[in-house]
Chains A and B, each alone.
Chain A
């Protein structure tokens, strides 16, 4: 058993996030599902997979099927439930309607294949996770794509595995630095407990918070706004961006004399769309970026083969990446063959 399986079991939830299609996210999920001790743990799997899903819905091409083992719980849409290739017992039907019908939760009574397509909004994903706790599930696994099209963020899980690979970039240097940037974002610190309880319910707008904890809305709805005014920010210690954080905004904050030591809070790493350069300039200037939700990054997996057929050197890629991010990196296909 590879070490990260043990580590997964220390948390109540895991998301597997692919940085691009064909970076081996599904392989990673299959790998994890095959190795978890299903006899001793109650495990539930779902997908917030939007990655390629629009294509699926238009072309009706099949998404990869997952093989579940007997005893595993899963959530999928009504449509995919109807196409299941296993015997399963229904536990719940949600009120939420997705484009593929309602989300149903069931338990596999035999092993077999299933297409996963679960909750699609942040609220419904959180609701589903709470439902799973009521069913005494020990570990929830979320097959999560990084996408701007889904409001459901994989960052609600306690732990995370990132899947990267040649599909993300065929140049090993670029691949390493792009992946390292994402890893940096995933590893951003949590903000203070006070900030978390204060900001968690706020899902819109830009806010300035002074040292007394008073919140003041800025005159712009998103950080994309061109004319954001920072007047009288002398006492502002914290800025909160409820939506996306972009380069232009970060630069404006960095160049404002009153905001030298500011803490910039975002919801989670999926909301950050800034270049590594801007981020590092901001941090060097004394600023800090923190998040409301953070997952513990357990491992990074690589798929050295790109869909166009280009293959990177697996060992070199694993070493270079591991060195850059200070975390174990695995090529699961290669490891699989070794066993």
Chain B
């Protein structure tokens, strides 16, 4: 999703990637509130206003090193002074645009007029920089001599260098008090870039604003996975949106192979992450609960570097979930077919036991499985499955976790070797 954000500056991307996931409801509310204003802006104004703002934001550069040098009592060189001036002018321009569209209360950019004044002694208001003649009368005279006597240039340049150095030291000293404001302006510009990109993405992908859930229940209507949706529709097929709700008791999803169970888990994980990073949610409606930590365990990741088999890697992942559940944190764990690679007797026992171990913890657990297990208090959902030769991906509530026996039918439909399938059918009949 971040890859598909149309950010204007590399710095905004870095800032976004460095951001920590929000785990406080207040922060998430504030974030969505700001985004709502930007979505409203994007929908309200003509494209030219959007493009003007986006074009400005392209000028945002990462000058953290320069700001650090300034705060750290160093003398800035010409390039660094240029960067500061460029940012200050950009911040002023963007602030003006935001004010014009009533967005200045949403993103506050500290005014840097005094910074501009220091670096623009002639009041030119353009984002270029050199050690201007007006900083130093003596320098001005030296430079006019340089133009008149190019033959003495080398000597004159040496003298000018010393004067320029003292101007730089003076400028750096005068800018030093504004280091924090400059840093804040840079962050505010990055935030504006991110909010614009999120707002445009919401419109382009048909995303929705989530409602905040306070009772531990999460409820999605018409949820979809943007990447899978794009892949499916590009093949000219129809993507089926799914409704799903889960709370603090475990949710068990069963269903035929190829029924989209893993996609559901991936989509739920994505939605939770998007929610806690303040993005639009890929669903018609969404009500989401804030979690402290999110675990997504998919069984088929082998860890060759660590020398773990797929079973070992999976056990370690689920082990981390159990350990975290004892740490008094609000968790969301999404586990795809745990213990699938081992024998069914022990596998089923491991899954049943996992349900019991995690029971009563302050967590939401959504798990898929093919094993027939005792669901206990779990809330059971089943993929509707194969009907009239077509897969119905919707989820229906069932009273227990009984798994459908459709594997042979589906395999047959895939055109798998008949002898193999019929032999399996015959063996089942004799059992």
Contact = CB atoms under 8 A, between A and B. Distances in A.
A138 interface: no
Interface string A52-88: 0000000000000000001000000010011001111
Interface string B76-96: 011100110010000000000
A93 B150 contact: no
Contacts of B154: 85
Given A82-B77, A95-B10, A112-B157, A90 B82 contact: yes
Contacts of B61: 93, 95
Interface residues of B, number: 21
A70 B153 contact: no
A110 B147 contact: yes
B339 to A, nearest CB: 43
Interface in A72-131: 78, 81-82, 85-91, 93, 95, 102, 104, 106-107, 109-112
A3 B10 CA distance: 46
24 contacts: A70-B147, A81-B78, A82-B77, A86-B157, A87-B130, A88-B130, A90-B79, A90-B82, A90-B128, A90-B130, A91-B128, A93-B61, A93-B86, A95-B10, A95-B61, A95-B62, A102-B79, A104-B79, A109-B130, A110-B146, A110-B147, A111-B147, A111-B153, A112-B153
Contacts of B146: 87, 110, 112
A33 to B, nearest CB: 15
Nearest to B81: A90
B79 A78 contact: yes
Contacts of B86: 93
A86 B130 CA distance: 11
Contacts of A110: 143, 146-147, 153
A51 B79 CA distance: 27
A93 B143 contact: no
A112 B150 CA distance: 8
A263 B61 CA distance: 45
Given A95-B61, A110-B146, A112-B153, A87 B79 contact: no
A36 B130 CA distance: 25
Contacts of A70: 147
A84 to B, nearest CB: 9
Question: Chain A at the B interface: mostly helix, strand, loop or mixed?
Answer: strand
B160 interface: yes
Interface of A: 70, 78, 81-82, 85-91, 93, 95, 102, 104, 106-107, 109-112
Given A70-B147, A91-B128, A110-B143, A85 B153 contact: yes
Interface in B220-245: none
B143 A87 contact: yes
A279 B47 CA distance: 52
A111 B128 contact: no
B129 interface: yes
A265 to B, nearest CB: 29
A85 B79 CA distance: 16
B79 A93 contact: yes
Contacts of A112: 146, 153, 157
A85 B157 contact: yes
A116 B140 CA distance: 26
Contacts of B129: 89-90
Contacts of B128: 89-91, 107
A48 B86 CA distance: 26
A314 to B, nearest CB: 30
A142 B381 CA distance: 66
Nearest to A102: B79
Contacts of B131: 87
A93 B157 CA distance: 24
Interface in B121-143: 128-131, 143
A90 B78 contact: yes
A183 B86 CA distance: 44
Pick the 6 closest A-B CB pairs, nearest first.
A90-B82, A89-B130, A90-B129, A89-B128, A110-B146, A91-B128
A260 B146 CA distance: 65
B83 A93 contact: yes
Given A90-B128, A95-B10, A106-B130, 15 more contacts: A78-B79, A81-B79, A85-B157, A87-B130, A87-B131, A89-B128, A90-B79, A91-B128, A93-B83, A95-B61, A95-B62, A102-B79, A107-B128, A109-B143, A110-B146
